[in-house]
Amino acid sequence: MSLYQANPSASFCLVDDANPNEFKIGESLPFSGTKVLERIDPTMTVVNSLQASDPVIHHPCSANASAWGTTELTTFTTTKEEELAAGSKGVTGGGWHLNRAKFDQTLREALKKNAGENVVRKGRVTTVSKVDEESGAWYWKVMVDARDSSEPVELRAKWIIDATGRSAYVATKIGAKVIWPDALLAFYTTFQSSTLSSPSPHPDTDHRTIVETTPNGWFYTSLVPTPVSKHGDNDDDPSADEYIQTRTVCYHTLSTHPTAKTARRRDGSGLLELIYGDEGDELPSTLHLAELLKQHGYELPPTLPGAAKGVVVASTTAGSSHLSPQCDTRSAIPEGEGLVGGRWIAVGDAAMAFDPLSSQGMMTALEMGLVVGMLIGKKLVPSTADAGSPAALGMDAEVQEKTRVAFAKPGATGLEQVYARARAVYETKVKRSYEAGKEAYPGESFWEGKRSVASHS
């Protein structure tokens, strides 16, 4: 959307294969995120959806609470004014717990509202290749397995933006490599308590993000409503949905840790064991999470929304990673560099993914999407004076500075510098947390391993 704001005459296509009925983690958005969303979408479609006070769409996040290396749960709160002043620096408290699938769909709808229905193509990219023309010019040929076509669809582009997540699917086809220094995994599910038509006698009103450590890893939980269609996954009528009071629970540990195998059980029994402990244990493995789930009568769902029947727990990589290189804005690439071509940029987790403890992921993705859209918008007009400027788009001072740095040097150097600064913020915050965890759980393999990774990332 920022590309469109910078250059409304640009021709572009968003290839998207998301399933809006699939449960998706990554639900926390700080209040300061509204600043960036307002710049990306001047029609305010997305911000208005957050501020509509509809409890079945997005919940307000009242605060962050943490029992990190201790049995005491400490709550951290900030005002909206403090959150706005802090920008994306990871200050806790305030904001929203998103229904992430619905939030992402709102972004897509806002793009179509601004730029037209045809700019979004449902499908997935299958191949990317560089095509040279007799004139000496060249373009990217992108083949798409489109839902609305029985034959592969060919797209031709001057520039490619990879927003495919941690896999960096498109950039790796061009020749970039994903660096994975951290083997952290996240195992997640949703616990259900009640529906609006059948309320619980003990409704859950705790809108904090709660983090709790154990010797084997750490958990977080947040209250996020989940729509369940009465007519199956393909139902397009939201009025037919029933909203279940749902609590996301996510367990993080290293892929090499014995509890990873336990947590991976598809029926959720392993995750229950890690939360409540084995039968006969004097104390549960978690204190605050176990009590919260018991107090409100939470149970595992028959199936995780969007998953295969009977699959209750899903997993994903969650450690830090980054793409190398993260972009190449040159038109000509010297031989021997290992890249198919230039004129491409990765954004979001495709460029740089963060340990969820950093609280950096969504804000960094939004900010960099804004900056990259500006950059490509400028590149797609004959004169950069014809494209929107950061000030004209109403960017706040911090994002304006990131844009200035990104544009300050030739090639990709400036943009890579912006990415490097964001990564430095992440490293500082996460190192401190994992060092504290090691002190709280001396000799435990998870904390020893995570501290080692954080120290060398």
* 405 exposure class (CB count in 10 Å sphere: 0-12, 13-18, 19+): middle
Query: Which of the 8 DSSP states describes residue 152?
Result: P
Distance between CA atoms of 190 and 119, rounded to whole angstroms? 33
Dihedral, CA of residue 172, residue 111, residue 119 and residue 376, to nearest 10:
-50
Residue ranges in 117-234 assigned as alpha helix (H)? 169-174
Q: How many CB atoms lie within 10 A of CB 157?
A: 16
> Count of alpha carbons within 13 Å of 179, Cβ hemisphere only?
12
Say yes or no to pLDDT of 84 above 90.
no
Summarize pLDDT for 316-327 with one digit per residue, the tens. 999 989 999 888
What is the mean predicted confidence (pLDDT) over 97-110?
87
Summarize pLDDT for 11-32 with one digit per residue, the tens. 999 999 988 878 888 888 888 8
Give 371 or 348, the one with higher predicted confidence. Answer: 348
**Percent of the chain whose predicted confidence (pLDDT) is above 90:** 40
Per-residue confidence (pLDDT) for residue 242, from 0 to 100? 57
Domain 184-317 in CATH 3.40.109: no
Query: Which of the 8 DSSP states describes residue 15?
Result: E
Query: Which of 210-224, 256-270, 277-291, 300-314 bottoms out in mean pLDDT, i.e. has the lowest?
Result: 277-291
Per-residue confidence (pLDDT) for residue 447, from 0 to 100? 94
What is the mean predicted confidence (pLDDT) over 419-447?
86
Dihedral, CA of residue 199, residue 201, residue 205 and residue 206, to nearest 10:
-120
Per-residue confidence (pLDDT) for residue 162, from 0 to 100? 96
Q: Distance of alpha carbon 112 from its chain centroid, rounded?
A: 21
Q: Distance of alpha carbon 431 from its chain centroid, rounded?
A: 21
Backbone torsion region of residue 77, taken as left when φ is above 0, otherwise alpha when ψ lies between -120 and 50, otherwise beta: beta
Give 422 or 75, the one with higher predicted confidence. Answer: 75
Distance between CA atoms of 344 and 163, rounded to whole angstroms? 11
Q: Report phi then psi at 213, rounded to 5.
A: -95, 155
Say yes or no to pLDDT of 257 above 90.
yes
Q: What pLDDT band is residue 395 in, cutting at 50, 70 and 90?
A: very low
160-180: burial string, b at 16+ Cβ within 10 Å, e else: bbbbbebebbbbbbbebebee
- Helix 413-440 vs helix 361-379: angle between axes, to the nearest 10 degrees? 170
Per-residue confidence (pLDDT) for residue 216, from 0 to 100? 95
- Please answer whether residues 95 and 61 qualify as being in contact, where contact means their C-beta atoms are separated by less than 8 angstroms: yes
Query: Which of the 8 DSSP states describes residue 55?
Result: T
Q: How many CB atoms lie within 10 A of CB 412?
A: 20
What is the mean predicted confidence (pLDDT) over 283-301?
90
> Count of alpha carbons within 13 Å of 108, Cβ hemisphere only?
19
Of the candidates 419, 428, 414, which has an alpha carbon nearest to the alpha carbon of residue 348? 419
Say yes or no to pLDDT of 263 above 80.
yes
Give 174 or 235, the one with higher predicted confidence. Answer: 174
Per-residue confidence (pLDDT) for residue 46, from 0 to 100? 79
Summarize pLDDT for 119-141 with one digit per residue, the tens. 999 999 999 999 999 998 999 99
* Mean pLDDT of the residues in the chain: 81
Summarize pLDDT for 198-229 with one digit per residue, the tens. 566 678 889 999 999 999 999 999 998 665 54
Indicate the CATH number of 2-66+78-172+335-435 among 3.40.50, 1.10.3470, 2.60.120, 3.50.50.
3.50.50
Query: Which of the 8 DSSP states describes residue 299?
Result: B
Per-residue confidence (pLDDT) for residue 151, from 0 to 100? 93
3-state helix vs strand vs coil in the chain, percent to 5? 35, 25, 40
Give 311 or 7, the one with higher predicted confidence. Answer: 311
Dihedral, CA of residue 202, residue 218, residue 30 and residue 408, to nearest 10:
-170
- Please answer whether residues 362 and 26 qualify as being in contact, where contact means their C-beta atoms are separated by less than 8 angstroms: yes
**Percent of the chain whose predicted confidence (pLDDT) is above 70:** 79
Beta bridge partners of 147: none
Distance between CA atoms of 143 and 125, rounded to whole angstroms? 6
- Domains in the chain: boundaries: 2-66+78-172+335-435, 184-317
- DSSP letters spanning 107-132: HHHHHHHHH-GGGEEEEEEEEEEEEE
Say yes or no to pLDDT of 45 above 80.
no
What is the mean predicted confidence (pLDDT) over 391-395?
44
Global pTM reads 0.85
Say yes or no to pLDDT of 236 above 50.
no
* DSSP run (H or E) holding 346: strand 344-346
Question: Which residues does 56 contact at the CB level (< 8 Å), separation at least 6?
Answer: 196, 225, 227, 243
Q: What pLDDT band is residue 194 in, cutting at 50, 70 and 90?
A: low
What is the mean predicted confidence (pLDDT) over 258-280?
92
